[in-house]
Amino acid sequence: MGNKQSTFRDDQLDEYQDCTFFTSKEILRLHGRFRDLAPNVVPLDYTNNPDVTLPSSLIITMPELKENPFRYRILETFSEDGEGNLTFYDFVDLFSVLSETAPLDLKIIYAFRIYDFNRDGFLCLEDVEETVHRLTGEELRVEERRLVARRVMEEADLDGDGKLSLIDFQNMISRAPDFISTFHIRI
Amino acid sequence: MEEDKKWKERAKIRKRKRLKREEQQDQEEGGQKRGQRRGQSHPEMEEKTEEEEARRGGGEEDRERRRRSRKIERTTRMKRRKRRQRRRKRQRKRTKSPEELERLKEAVDERKKLITTLRGKPWPMRKKLESQLFVEKYEGALGKGRGRKLYAYKVMMRKKWMKFERDLENFKTACIPWEMKIKEIESHFGSSVASYFIFLRWMYGINMILFSLTFGLVMVPEALMGRPYGSIPRKTVPREEQASAMDFAVLWDWGGYAKYSVLFYGYYNNQRAVGWLKFRMPLSYFLVGVGTVAYSYMVVIRTMARNAKEDGGGDDTSFNFSWKIFTSWDYLIGNPETADNKFASITTSFKEAIVEEQESRKDDNIHLTRFLRVLANFLVLCCLAGSGYLIYFVVRRSQKFALEGLDNYGWWERNEVNMVMSLLGMFCPMLFDVISALENYHPRIALQWQLGRIFALFLGNLYTFIIALMDQINLKRAEEEIVKFNMTAWQANLYNGTIPENSTAPPITVDPADVPRGPCWETMVGQEFVRLIISDTMTTYITLLIGDFLRAVLVRFLNHCWCWDLEYGFPSYSEFDVSGNVLGLIFNQGMIWMGAFYAPCLPALNLLRLHVSMYLQCWAVMCCNVPQERVFKASGSNNFYMAMLLVILFLSTLPAIYTIVSIPPSFDCGPFSGKSRMFDVIQETLESDFPAWFGKVFSYASNPGLVLPFLLLMVLAIYYLHSTSKTYKHANLELKKKLQAVSEELIIFMSLPHLSSRGRHHFSKDSRDSRHSSTSHPVVQGYRNGRGSALSHSQIPPSTRPPAPRVHRYQPGPLPGHPGQPASRKQDSSLSSRSR
């Protein structure tokens, strides 16, 4: 907006603004963060859309993601190759969905994808057990985790197939008062 | 040969570039130049190939030459054919038929609509960017053809508008302060502590607006366009006080020059129009007072409505475990210590929930618990009554001091009321906390009780204060009567009784400082509120420094030489008390709303206070506090604190409205002096500034005969809306129940024995898992695939999974009847009463 920067062309910034929930200043700041992860690899000049991918091992060193038990799943969900290696597009997409202004529906869809560990499009019993495992570590015994997972199925599984589809998940999460405030990363 | 190849390649490249250039220029300009250019290119190309041939020529390579020439001819023929095809294509593109244009336009419009919602689509970025490129590519082409100018103009305006909106968004986000500070706190303490700071920032925004209203429309006009200091009696410090008017002690007490300035009500002149703008000062004062309240109501209610929309139905306990799993991890956490705390608290809450599931809660000795709770409530009531009486007593005492002259007493006696109120506000909540240990409630319920009691305490204190203030107002008004009476005597004295009343001799000029002054009760009220706010602020900061900072320093440095571990045992580092601080903030704002009419400086003061609070508390929280061990929100809904704010707003504007409506203003100070009621200014404005018919219309509108039916209509509308919302809630509940019933029936249906024989190999040993492993059960799939397709299920192989969207399957009411099922369903109904 008037300040001379050579990282992006104006129309590129406009495109980013249309596709995400960020303003141009935030996008530039994101680029700075992306570049800080690997200054030798990420170019300063993005006007030609260089195809630079950063490995997941580098991205999880970011303070925002470092302590998150689901960090690898988050990266895998947003990466193009499914392995967790992000280009700048994916990076911006990630933080846009997890930003404050993203709508509830979008967050629910991505949360569903993140918690789907075996990537079959459903949250089955094993997915839920794995989530509980990540949240509590080794404090709970295996039977307790299984009990919790079964209770979740009873509560949220509406069509009785033993796993949660996106509709079940949406139905359950849209009423949760905390979801929007906890599924949020500020960058 | 090699030269030949290189030459050909170079020629090809050159040609390709040329054609690309031509295509681009085609789309922008007409087609005339193109023809000329191409006409030039052909002979060039042909020349080159002929040159090649001429260069070669030679006896030995005749065959090769012929082969080459044949090849060259073939390639040139192919090239010519391609050129012709391209030309035709371009011609087709150049003159698009209107239908094609229409279709293209529709496609572009569709894509444009898509783009406005592009942000909310769960697509990867590349796909989103492709849609944008599509629009950009074809928008230019659409610019030709009939009606192109209008279309191009519309497109340009739309683009400009989008750019403007984007710039506005950028500007707005750049204006939001303290983003990085809040982020740091969030990553260290989680979202509940940060929510206090976000609330503080929101309050700051509201106060900024209130400040700009009072400053811009009340204080500045009077300061710039009104009569200057010292010109009229109300704007001058009285002679008796002038000696001490500049003393710091007097100024700190908001007397002296501070009292006779734009900061307080009494300074304002009642002249109807001031300055060359003819600014209606009294009207502006009144309307700004009303406007601040109206704006606050609007903002609070709008925020509540927005929160209510996000909530989607309030407290729901049917998804206990699910919510624990999917919403308990706070993604904002970035600090390892906080993360550990969070893990621990999540584990604890899971363990508690599991225990609750497995065992029934033992209600041992319910009588003892009930007795203890009654006792606790009784103690709390005693506390509240005691604090109320204490404030009343102290206010009476201060009135006695005031009658005897404040100079005889020290600082404590002068500020007794404010200090007592602040100290009560500090110590009573701690007392309530101790008493609540008797009650043995679940932490969330205990928190709600605690908040309720603190709320009652603050409210009681505030209203006792106001009642005491009313006593003082009445005293001042009685004093005013005496002064008015003495005024006539003084004026007669001035003229020494020599000149008769109806003479036209010039009046004797008296220095404004010498005119006897009435006690301005409005300024007194304003001063009281300002003093209260200042002492409240001081108490908060001192509590912060001592309670948090000093405690942290002691724990940190005395830990080496103390018997027990200070950091883990008593006193340890303090936790940030979110609810207490939020309540404090809400009550502070209530006091501002109450006093802003009589002291226009209050919003400015509050703005300063909030600004300092933000930095001080951010520092204190990062430096002295530890993350909370168990995080309980006071209620599931975000609207809890908003609702409290709304109640406070209502309760604090009540006294102000009462005083405006019922008490006549002072005769010699303020913008309404001389009127019988403050709101007479509206009547006056209607009569003098608006055309005659407006006044008539207004008088008709304010006729009770019209107002009463209107009120009745509003009451009926409220009743109607309330009953419809009740029916919606009821319908919602019914649908939920039906949904549960459907899923229950489905589960029972699947676990019936005669069905299990078919899919026995799918069932695991544990009978409870039968539900979950029957994903590929053929009967279930057939059930899912819709009505009457009972027989088709056998065709579906067991390994396929049904497609994702299943909305159409939720059918409230009787399940789609399979022809063979009704009898078995009747059996089910007896089983369906089994709870999950």
Nearest to A134 by CA among B57, B328, B195: B328
| pLDDT tops 50 at residue B815 | no
- Bigger pLDDT: B37 vs A57: A57
Cα B443 from Cα A138, distance rounded (Å): 26
| pLDDT tops 70 at residue B338 | yes
Q: For residues B752 and B828, is the Cβ–Cβ distance under 8 A?
A: yes
Name the band, by pLDDT with cuts 50, 70 and 90, for residue B207.
Answer: very high
| pLDDT tops 80 at residue A151 | yes
What would the two tokens of residue B382 be? 């005693």
What residues of B are in contact with residue A124 (Cβ under 8 Å)? 772
The pLDDT value given to residue B406: 64
B252-265 confidence digits (pLDDT tens): 888 888 888 888 88
Nearest to B118 among A19, A128, A150 (CB): A19
| Cα separations in angstroms, B631 against B328, B433, B470, B578, B618 | 10, 17, 42, 10, 19
Q: CB count, 10 Å around CB of B742? A: 20
What percent of chain B clears pLDDT 70, i.e. is strictly above it? 77
Cα A175 from Cα B315, distance rounded (Å): 8
CA angle A47–A50–A53, rounded 5-degree value: 135
Answer whether B836 sits within 8 Å of A154, measured CB to CB: yes
What residues of A are in contact with residue B755 (Cβ under 8 Å)? none
Q: Is B259 helix (H, G, I), strand (E, B) or coil?
A: helix
Name the band, by pLDDT with cuts 50, 70 and 90, for residue B798.
Answer: very low
Output the DSSP codes for B698-737. Answer: HHHHT-HHHHHHHHHHHHHHHHHHHHHHHHHHHHHHHHHH
The pLDDT value given to residue A164: 87
B310, burial (CB in 10 Å: exposed 0-12, middle 13-18, buried 19+): middle
Name the band, by pLDDT with cuts 50, 70 and 90, for residue B99.
Answer: confident
The pLDDT value given to residue B748: 77
Answer whether B321 sits within 8 Å of A89, measured CB to CB: no
Cα A148 from Cα A129, distance rounded (Å): 8
- Bigger pLDDT: B5 vs B181: B181
The pLDDT value given to residue B604: 93
- pTM for the model stands at 0.70
The pLDDT value given to residue B437: 79
Name the band, by pLDDT with cuts 50, 70 and 90, for residue B631.
Answer: low
Which range among A12-26, A95-109, B200-214, B408-422 shows the weakest confidence by mean pLDDT? B408-422
Answer whether A92 sits within 8 Å of B125, measured CB to CB: yes
Cα A185 from Cα B186, distance rounded (Å): 10
Element (H, E) at B595: helix B578-595
Say what the ipTM of the complex is.
0.89
Rounded to an integer, the average pLDDT of B199-225 is 91
Cα B6 from Cα B156, distance rounded (Å): 47
The pLDDT value given to residue B649: 92
What percent of chain A clears pLDDT 90, i.e. is strictly above it? 12
CA distance B19 to chain A (A): 24
The pLDDT value given to residue B472: 83
Which range among B31-35, B67-71, B131-135, B458-462 shows the weakest confidence by mean pLDDT? B31-35
Q: Which residues of B406-422 are buried (b: 16+ CB within 10 A; e: fewer)?
A: eeeeeeeebbbbbbbbb
What residues of A are in contact with residue B806 (Cβ under 8 Å)? 159, 165, 167
The pLDDT value given to residue B292: 92
User: To probe the interface with B, which of A91, A151, A173, A187 has the most B CB atoms within 10 Å?
Assistant: A151
Name the band, by pLDDT with cuts 50, 70 and 90, for residue B359.
Answer: low
* Sign of the Cα pseudo-torsion (B662, B668, B671, B674, in order): positive
User: Between A and B, how many residue pairs show a Cβ–Cβ distance under 8 A?
Assistant: 215
Q: Which residues of B471-509 are buried (b: 16+ CB within 10 A; e: fewer)?
A: ebbebbeeebeebeeebeeeeeeeeeeeeeeeeeeeeee
Cα A78 from Cα A94, distance rounded (Å): 6
Cα B527 from Cα B254, distance rounded (Å): 7
- Bigger pLDDT: B246 vs B26: B246
Nearest to A67 among B339, B347, B742 (CB): B339
| pLDDT tops 50 at residue A136 | yes
Cα A41 from Cα B14, distance rounded (Å): 35
Instruction: Please report, as a single letter, which amino acid is at residue B448.
Output: Q
Peptide bond between residue B822 and the one before it cis (omega within 30 degrees of 0): no
Nearest to A160 among B170, B311, B750 (CB): B750
Cα B813 from Cα B32, distance rounded (Å): 71
User: To probe the interface with A, which of B326, B341, B357, B773 has the most A CB atoms within 10 Å?
Assistant: B326
Nearest to A35 by CA among A48, A61, A54, A16: A54
Nearest to A121 among B169, B750, B804 (CB): B804
The pLDDT value given to residue B767: 40
Which range among A104-118, A134-148, B229-243 shows the weakest confidence by mean pLDDT? B229-243
The pLDDT value given to residue B38: 47
Q: CB count, 10 Å around CB of A111? A: 23
B286-316 confidence digits (pLDDT tens): 999 999 999 999 999 999 888 777 655 555 6
Q: Which residues of A137-168 are buried (b: 16+ CB within 10 A; e: fewer)?
A: eeebeeebbbbbbbbbbebbbbbbbbbbbbbb
CA angle B213–B219–B224, rounded 5-degree value: 125
Answer whether B331 sits within 8 Å of A92, measured CB to CB: no
Residue B329, CB-side half-sphere exposure with 13 Å CA sphere: 22
B636-649 confidence digits (pLDDT tens): 556 778 888 999 99
Average pLDDT, chain B: 76
Nearest to A64 among B310, B334, B354 (CB): B334
What residues of B are in contact with residue A66 (Cβ under 8 Å)? 334, 336
What would the two tokens of residue B593 be? 């709303």
B662-685 confidence digits (pLDDT tens): 888 888 888 888 888 888 888 888
B137-187 confidence digits (pLDDT tens): 766 666 555 567 787 788 888 888 888 888 888 788 778 888 888 888 887
The pLDDT value given to residue B41: 42
The pLDDT value given to residue A4: 67
Nearest to B751 by CA among B673, B818, B836: B836
The pLDDT value given to residue B299: 94
Q: Which residue of B has its CA nearest to A158?
A: B743
DSSP state of A120: S
Q: For residues B211 and B604, is the Cβ–Cβ distance under 8 A?
A: yes
Nearest to A123 by CA among A161, A175, A83, A94: A161
